[in-house]
Amino acid sequence: MRLLHTSDWHLGRSFHRVSLLDAQRAFLDHLVATVEERAVDAVLVAGDIYDRAVPSLAAVEMFDHALHRLAELAVPTVMISGNHDSARRLGVGSALMGRAGVHLRTDPAECGTPVLLPDGEGRGEVAVYGVPYLEPSLVRQTLGAEGGGHTAVLRAAMDRVRADLATRPAGTRSVVLAHAFVTGAEGSDSERDITVGGVASVPASVFDGVDYVALGHLHNCQALSERVRYSGTPLAYSFSEAGHPKSMWLIDLGPGGEVAAERLPCPVPRPLARLRGTLEELLENPAHERYADCWLEVTLTDAARPHDPMARLQRRFPHTVSLVFEPEREEADDARSYAVRLRNRTDQQIAEDFVGHVRPGRAAAPEEREMLGQALEAVRASEGEQDERDERGEPVAVPRTATAAPPGGGAGTGGRAVGTGVAR
C-alpha cells in the first residue's frame, strides 16, 4: 500500500505579515497532482491543518476545495487535529465526510478505533489509527492515563491502539498518525510550545508495536527511525527553516509491514535567506545580488542605527521582511566599580553618558544636552521649593517630575528626568 504522509499545513498563516494563501493553494494543487501521478492509495495528514482554532474563511474554503478533489479521486484521506486546530470545530461533520473517504480523527476517546483501508492486491486490510494532539490536563481522565504528562497520555492512547490491533487478524498492518514532540527530533522557531501540562517530548518507544508512525508538529522533515518520521511543513514559516528542504514522505508499506520511504520535494514559492553586515556593505556588495528575489532577514551590525534602513534595503531587496539590529562595537573593558566611574562627574555629564550608552555611536546632540540641563534644573528647583516648605513646617508636597527630555522619550528614559545625584 502506498501512503502519502504530510502534516502541518497551517492554512491561513502568513509569513512576517505576507499572505501565504497563494503558496498554500499551490502546495495543495501539488499534493493532489502527486496523488494522481504516483498512484497513492491513501493520504495521511498528521495535524495542524489550520494555523488557528478559528481559521479565516479563505483558509476553510481552501481546505474544503482540497478535500473535494481528493474525494473525486476516490483516494481515502485520514487526518488528525493538531495543537493549532480546534478539535471540536475540525471534527464537525466527520461521520458524513467519512462516507466520502475523508476520515477526521479529532476525539481522543476514539484513538483505538481505526480506519480500515483495503489493500487492492488482496493482502488484507491496513489499520490506520488517528491520535490527535493530546493536551494532558484535558484528556488524562478520558484515556485513564497513569500520570499527567505528555508521555503518560500518549502511552495510554497507544495502549488502546495496541489493544485493538491485537483483536485484528494476524498479519494486519498498522499505521498511527500522531501530533507530538518525540525525543531526539529537531525543532524550529515556528512551532508553538506545548510544554504546558508537563514535559513536552515523549520517547519514540511509546509507538512500539506498529508498522509506521506518521508524525506531525515539528516543522523539519526528518526520520527518527525507518518507521517513525516527521513530514514537516510544506512551506517555511520562520527563518530558522531557511535550510530545511520542504517535502512529503511517500511510504510504500510492504505485505509484511516493510517500509520503503521516498522524500518528495514541495514547491518553493520564494527562497529564504539571512544576511548580516553593515547597511553600506549590504547595499553595495555585488555578491548579494543573488538574494534579490529571496525573503530576507537582515541583521545590521552598524555601530549606530542607520536612517530609514528598511526602506533603503527594500529598494535593493524588495522582499526584506525582517530587520534585526546587533551593533558590533568594541566596548572599553572598564573594571572600575560604578561608584568610582561616577566620581567627580556632574549630573549633566552622567545624563549625557547615559544617552551615549543606550544609543551607540550617537552622543547627545547640542539641543539634547540643553534639554537635559533644563530637566536637571527643573528637578533642582522643585527640590529647593520642597526644602523651603519643610523648613516652614508646611505639608509635604510630592515633587513633580520634570517633563523635559530629549526627542523620542529621552533615549530610553521614558520622558522622565534621568536618575542623578540630586534626586532624593
Q: Taking a C-beta distance cutoff of 8 angstroms, is the pair 248, 4 a contact? A: yes
Angle between helices 366-392 and 347-358 (to 10 degrees): 130
272-325 belongs to CATH 1.10.3470: no
Q: Using 50, 70 and 90 to split pLDDT, how confident is the model at 358?
A: low
pLDDT reported for residue 422: 42
Q: Give percent above pLDDT 90 in the chain.
A: 66
Over residues 394-416, the mean pLDDT reads 48
Size of the chain, expressed as the number of residues it contains = 424
Res 252: pLDDT: 96
Range with the poorest average pLDDT among 143-152, 329-338, 373-382: 329-338
> What's residue 413's pLDDT?
42
Separation of alpha carbons 182 and 205, rounded Å = 9
The larger pLDDT score, comparing residue 338 to residue 264, is at 264
pLDDT in tens, 4-40: 999 999 999 999 999 999 999 999 999 999 999 999 9
The yes-or-no verdict on residue 406 having pLDDT over 60 is no
Location of C-alpha cell 473517504 = 101
Closest CA to 291 of 234, 237, 242: 242
What separation in angstroms does the CA of 84 have from each of 14, 49, 80?
14, 8, 11
Closest Cα partner for 176 from 151, 211, 152, 202? 211
Give the model confidence (pLDDT) of 150-193 as tens digits: 999 999 999 999 999 999 999 899 999 999 999 877 776 666 66
Provide the 10 A C-beta neighbour count for residue 334: 9
Give the contacts of 105 (CB within 8 A, at least 6 positions apart): 78, 79, 80, 81, 94, 111, 115, 129, 130, 131, 132, 177
User: How far is 280 from 98, CA to CA, in rounded Å?
Assistant: 59
Contact 143, 108 (CB under 8 A): yes
Supply the pTM of this predicted model.
Answer: 0.76
pLDDT digits (tens, 9 = 90+) for 51-96: 999 999 999 999 999 999 999 999 999 999 999 999 999 999 889 8
Give the whole-angstrom CA distance, residue 151 versus residue 194. Answer: 12
Residue ranges, comma separated, of all CATH 3.60.21.10 domains in the chain are: 2-265
Q: Which long-range contacts (CB under 8 A, 24 or more apart) does 270-274 make?
A: 270/23, 270/294, 270/295, 270/319, 271/295, 272/236, 272/239, 272/241, 272/242, 272/296, 272/297, 273/242, 273/297, 274/239, 274/242, 274/298, 274/299
238, 203 contact by CB (below 8 A): no
Dump strand ranges (E) for 255-368: 259-265, 272-277, 295-300, 320-325
For residue 194, which of 225, 223, 216 has the smallest C-alpha distance? 216
Matching residue, cell 482540497: 66
pLDDT at 255: 92
Kind and range of the H or E run holding 215: strand 212-216
What's the whole-number mean pLDDT along residues 357-362? 66
Q: If you write DSSP's letter for every residue of 80-120 in order, what string do you get?
A: E--TTS-HHHHTTTHHHHHHTTEEEE--GGGTTS-EEEE-T
The pLDDT value given to residue 193: 60
Classify domain 2-265 at the CATH class level.
alpha beta
Across 289-318, average pLDDT: 95
Q: How far apart are CA 347 and CA 390, in angstroms?
A: 24
Local confidence band at 367 (pLDDT 50, 70, 90 cut-offs): confident
